């Protein structure tokens, strides 16, 4: 495989499994942007459509269903299924409501999420399955999510449709990716996210701030890796289409420009007295919030009655049964929809409200807040409020959606001591707007390319440069490419430390060997370098490779333990023609390692608590490889005059002691603000031993992973010439400075020595 072809395989994009259709196959009533999304989705076969409310997700999914297969099943919230049937008639799409697998028939079938167990074996009969309002995947119980993924993983074509999610909501995006078969939640997190202890705000190139910190049920916090940002959005856009307005896909927004939205808070005097404190000191948790909400309902209802007096339609959102019952009792022409109501009664009530047969509809966000089209109404009231911005947003968008002709008035009735909830939700909304703008800006070019809009190829950040001195050649660029510029059988020794397959730690480029999704990909990539090193090395000469065992992590590897990275490196070299010739172990201070890595396996406390979870420190392995063959023309014996017998006895023991872990080149100025970790230069003492053991003064020492120049620095210091290759410009810049400095010093020493002689 050519290297360029291999780099293409590293691109984190999802391949299509669908089919090509022509735009003339799509119902003519669909808008241009809707038609484009259908064409893309049918071609993808398994994908998500994140389109804002009112942009016609129902038409998009029904056309996708009609074009993708014969037997289709749609899962939808209870209140949405009947509405989908009505919407389908507008584009001559017949949708049949069913409750179990036995009712499945050729065509488009629809059911509710509550019926998922009735379709556990339906995958054998289905061509495609659709999750409508799929954002509720994170709201419904985990068992239902798991069942949807399990029951329909064998269905070839899958589509998720929902309003645009928060771009950094890994739970929601992970659930979608898992259902669609893109990857598991664990794979997504290990590829693009990192454990985080502190909330981190990042400013995108667009200028929008993204806060990407989340906690799962176990309290583990995650944030998007800084260097992974572009690859994450590129990966996301390869299986999901995100759109807020038609102009996001290059269309005019005519007909989709919404009228003004007026959010009007109304504050009542609570006169709340806490039962467990002398003075009220603020809301403290869900129980306290519920108590306050119940205690202040009467005052709120009085304000609500002032608003709903008249002939216009009103939608009242309640959070408690008490609120809903109270409102129904005093508003004569109101209808109340409860969770316990018969499904048919719920659907009928919503339809009557849509048809203006009902003036005031009272319900809860979890019942009517997803998917319903109530744009015939332009007034709504929140009878109290909780802290969920998403719930608030979804409820508002039932009326404030494309197709709304009037200003939408949203009255938020809260008590004076609940204003902090309103302000909190307001701040979340502002942040969500910034984040979504950032997402759209980041993925827009990718999505336009997916739609075949002729967007120019995204420019690569890759660059090459060469800086030379009297004793060094420093090459900026990809070792897989730049090693080809070095002559065959021209290098006497190579010394280096390869990346340890730690994703997006130091760069975002796919050329970075560390940015490999698994060990198989890592070692395919590494193989290009191993083979080039074999070519440029003189016969019979040595390559010293610094490695270490790597901790296995539950999220990434499926278990907690140790992975034998040195063993895998040995096998890779042997598979590519090298001879494994020896190994030296560099000792480490276990307590210093425990402090640096925060590994509980090295702590005294763990030793006393349960030593079965204790282990030795991870030691450095210097792996020694030899190129086969001997040639008198190309090989000079290393007649070592720099290592006396006593020192050789020490080094030949295979356990290298006396090397200080802090004996490295200064590196802090090389670290970019987006680097996940400090660069870890190899100890100068370790490099010195490799150079003195396996090369003569005046010979060429090569390092294909130059970093800040440690190996090349030591080569010049001990009288060799050196070649360095480094991919990252910031490290390369520091490496050149270090090499120029040591070269100047070494030449001064040469002059001094010559003068003394």
DSSP of 140-207, one letter per residue?
S-HHHHHHHHHHHTT-SEEEEEESPPPTT-HHHHHHHHHHHTS--HHHHHHHHEEE-SS--EEE-TTS
Angle between helices 565-575 and 519-536 (to 10 degrees): 50
Q: What is the mean pLDDT of residues 262-288?
A: 68
More confident residue, 502 or 153: 153
Mean pLDDT (the chain, rounded) = 85
Q: 472-476 and 465-468 as β-strands: parallel, antiparallel, unpaired?
A: antiparallel
Mean per-residue pLDDT, 492-516: 84
For position 445, what pLDDT does the model report?
72
Q: In what order do the strands lie in the sheet with 157-162?
A: 95-97, 107-112, 71-76, 128-132, 157-162, 46-51, 240-243
Residue range(s) occupied by CATH 3.40.50.300 in the chain: 32-182+240-257, 261-435
Res 715 pLDDT > 80? yes
Residue 93 has pLDDT above 70, yes or no: yes
Q: How confident is the model at residue 402 (pLDDT cuts 50, 70, 90)?
A: confident
pLDDT of amino acid 628? 95
Give percent of the chain with pLDDT exceeding 90.
50
pLDDT given for residue 34 in this prediction: 95
> What pLDDT is recorded for position 460?
60
pLDDT, greater one: 37 or 424: 37
DSSP letter string over 306-369?
HHH-SSS-EEEEESSHHHHHHHHHH-TTEEE--TTS-HHHHHHHHHHHHTTS-SEEEE-HHHHS
Q: Which residue, 12, 14, 18, is CA-closest to 64?
A: 18
- pLDDT for 374 equals 94
**Mean predicted confidence (pLDDT) in 550-564:** 82
726 SS3 class: strand
- Digit-coded pLDDT (tens) for 445-484: 777 777 777 554 545 678 999 999 999 999 999 999 999 9
User: What would the pLDDT profile of 3-22 be if each residue is shown by its tens digit?
Assistant: 999 998 887 778 889 999 99
Architecture of the domain made up of 32-182+240-257: 3-Layer(aba) Sandwich (3.40)
How far is the C-alpha of 197 from the C-alpha of 467, rounded, in Å? 41
Q: What is the pLDDT of residue 439?
A: 66
Picking from 33-42, 113-122, 291-300, which range would have the lowest pLDDT averaged per residue? 291-300
Q: What is the pLDDT of residues 518-530, one digit of tens each?
A: 889 999 999 999 9
- What tens digit of pLDDT does each residue of 340-357 get? 888 888 889 999 999 999
The torsion angles phi and psi of 410, rounded to 5 degrees, stand at: -115, 110
Per-residue DSSP letters for 267-284?
EE------SS-SS-----
Rounded Cα gap, residues 679 and 83, in angstroms: 57
Give the model confidence (pLDDT) of 156-177 as tens digits: 999 999 886 654 566 678 888 9
- Residue 656's H or E segment, with its range, is strand 655-656
Q: What CATH number belongs to 471-543+565-582+623-756?
A: 3.40.50.150
Q: How do 157-162 and 579-586 pair as beta strands?
A: unpaired
Q: In terms of pLDDT, which residue wins out, 456 or 745?
A: 745
Residues of the chain with CATH 3.40.50.150: 471-543+565-582+623-756
CATH of domain 261-435: 3.40.50.300
pLDDT, tens only, 136-145: 766 555 788 8
Confidence at residue 388, expressed as pLDDT on a 0 to 100 scale: 83
308-312, 542-546, 661-665: which is most confident: 542-546
**pLDDT at res. 250:** 86
pLDDT, tens digit, 9 for 90 and up, residues 239-268: 988 888 899 888 999 888 889 999 999 999
- Predicted pLDDT at 670: 52
The answer on pLDDT for 672 being more than 60 is: no
CA distance 177 to 711: 43
Average pLDDT value for residue range 308-321: 92
Burial class of 628 by CB neighbour count within 10 A (0 to 12, 13 to 18, 19+): exposed
Backbone φ/ψ region at 304: left (φ over 0), alpha (ψ -120 to 50), beta = alpha
In this prediction, residue 14 carries a pLDDT of 84
pLDDT score of 304 more than 80:
yes
pLDDT mean over 224-240: 81
Q: Which range, of 204-213, 265-274, 551-560, averages the lowest pLDDT?
A: 204-213
Strands 221-224 and 193-195 turn out to be: antiparallel
CA angle 637, 641, 644 (to 5 degrees): 125
Question: What number is the average pLDDT over the span 97-117?
Answer: 95
Distance CA 378, CA 408 (A): 5
CA–CA gap between residue 109 and residue 98 (Å, rounded): 7
Range with top average pLDDT, 77-81, 511-515, 550-554:
511-515
CA quadruple 325, 327, 329, 333: dihedral sign: negative
What pLDDT is stored for residue 213 in this prediction?
Answer: 44
Residues 44 and 239: beta-carbon distance below 8 Å = yes
């Amino acid at each position: 495989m050519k290297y360029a072809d291999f780099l293409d395989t590293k691109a984190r994009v999802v391949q299509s499994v669908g089919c090509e259709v022509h735009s003339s196959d799509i119902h003519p009533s669909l808008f241009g942007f809707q038609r484009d999304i259908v064409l893309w989705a049918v071609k993808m076969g398994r994908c998500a459509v994140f389109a804002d409310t009112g942009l016609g997700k129902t038409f998009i999914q029904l056309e996708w269903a009609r074009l993708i297969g014969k037997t289709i099943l749609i899962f939808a919230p209870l209140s949405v299924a009947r509405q989908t049937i009505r919407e389908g008639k507008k584009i001559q799409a017949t949708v049949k409501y069913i409750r179990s697998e036995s009712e499945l028939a050729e065509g488009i079938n629809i059911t509710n999420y509550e019926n998922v167990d009735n379709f556990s074996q339906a995958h054998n009969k289905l061509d495609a399955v659709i999750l409508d309002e799929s954002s509720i995947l994170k709201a419904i119980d985990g068992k239902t999510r798991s069942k949807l993924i399990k029951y329909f993983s064998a269905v070839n074509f899958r589509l998720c449709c929902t309003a645009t999610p928060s771009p950094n909501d890994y739970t929601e995006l992970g659930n979608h990716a898992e259902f669609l078969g893109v990857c598991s939640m664990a794979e997504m997190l290990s590829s693009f996210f990192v454990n985080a202890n502190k909330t981190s705000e990042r400013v995108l190139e667009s200028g929008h701030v993204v806060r990407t910190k989340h906690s799962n049920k176990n309290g583990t916090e995650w944030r998007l890796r800084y260097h992974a940002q572009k690859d994450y959005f590129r990966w996301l856009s390869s299986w999901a289409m995100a759109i807020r307005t038609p102009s996001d896909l290059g269309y005019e927004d005519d007909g989709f420009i919404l009228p003004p939205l007026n959010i009007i808070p109304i504050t009542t005097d609570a006169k709340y007295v806490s039962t467990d404190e002398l003075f009220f000191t603020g809301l403290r948790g869900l129980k306290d919030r519920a108590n306050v909400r119940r205690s202040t309902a009467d005052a709120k209802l009085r304000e609500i009655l002032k608003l709903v007096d008249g002939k216009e339609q009103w939608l009242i959102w309640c959070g408690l049964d008490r609120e809903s019952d109270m409102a129904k009792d005093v508003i004569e022409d109101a209808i109340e929809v409860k969770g316990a109501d018969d499904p048919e009664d719920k659907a009928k009530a919503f339809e009557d409200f849509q048809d203006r047969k009902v003036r005031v509809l009272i319900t809860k966000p979890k019942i009517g807040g997803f998917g319903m089209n109530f744009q015939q109404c332009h007034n709504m009231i929140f009878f109290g409020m909780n802290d969920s911005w998403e719930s608030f947003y979804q409820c508002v968008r039932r009326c404030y959606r494309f197709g709304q002709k009037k200003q939408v008035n949203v009255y938020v009735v809260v008590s004076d001591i609940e204003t902090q909830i309103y302000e909190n939700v307001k701040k979340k909304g502002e942040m969500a707007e910034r984040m979504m703008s950032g997402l759209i800006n980041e993925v827009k070019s990718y999505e336009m390319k997916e739609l075949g809009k002729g967007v120019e190829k995204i420019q690569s950040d890759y660059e090459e440069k060469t800086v030379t001195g009297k004793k060094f050649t420093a090459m900026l660029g990809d070792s897989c490419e730049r090693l080809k510029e070095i002559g065959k059988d021209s290098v006497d020794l190579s010394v280096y430390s390869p990346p340890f397959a730690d994703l997006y730690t130091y760069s975002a480029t796919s050329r970075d060997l560390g940015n490999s999704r698994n060990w198989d990909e890592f070692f395919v990539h590494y193989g290009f370098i191993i083979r080039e090193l074999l070519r440029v090395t003189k016969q019979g000469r040595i390559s010293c490779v610094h490695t270490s065992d790597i901790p296995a992590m539950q999220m990434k590897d499926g278990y907690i333990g140790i992975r034998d990275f040195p063993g895998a490196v040995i096998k890779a070299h042997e598979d590519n023609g090298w001879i494994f010739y020896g190994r030296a172990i560099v000792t480490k201070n276990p307590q210093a390692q425990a402090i640096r890595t925060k590994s509980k396996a090295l702590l005294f406390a763990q030793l006393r608590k349960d030593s079965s979870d204790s282990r030795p420190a991870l030691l450095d392995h210097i792996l020694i490889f030899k190129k086969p063959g001997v040639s008198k023309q190309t090989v000079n014996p290393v007649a070592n005059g720099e290592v006396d017998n006593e020192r050789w006895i020490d080094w030949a023991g295979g356990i290298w002691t006396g090397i200080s872990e802090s004996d490295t080149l200064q590196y802090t100025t090389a670290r970019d603000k987006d680097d996940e970790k400090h660069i870890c230069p190899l100890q100068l003492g370790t490099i010195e031993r490799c150079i003195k053991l396996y090369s003569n003064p005046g010979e060429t020492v090569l390092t294909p992973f130059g970093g800040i120049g440690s190996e090349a620095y030591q080569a010049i210091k001990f009288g060799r010439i050196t070649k360095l290759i480094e991919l990252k410009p910031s490290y390369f810049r520091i490496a050149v400075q270090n090499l120029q400095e040591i070269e100047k010093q070494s030449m001064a020493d040469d002059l001094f020595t010559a003068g003394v002689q």
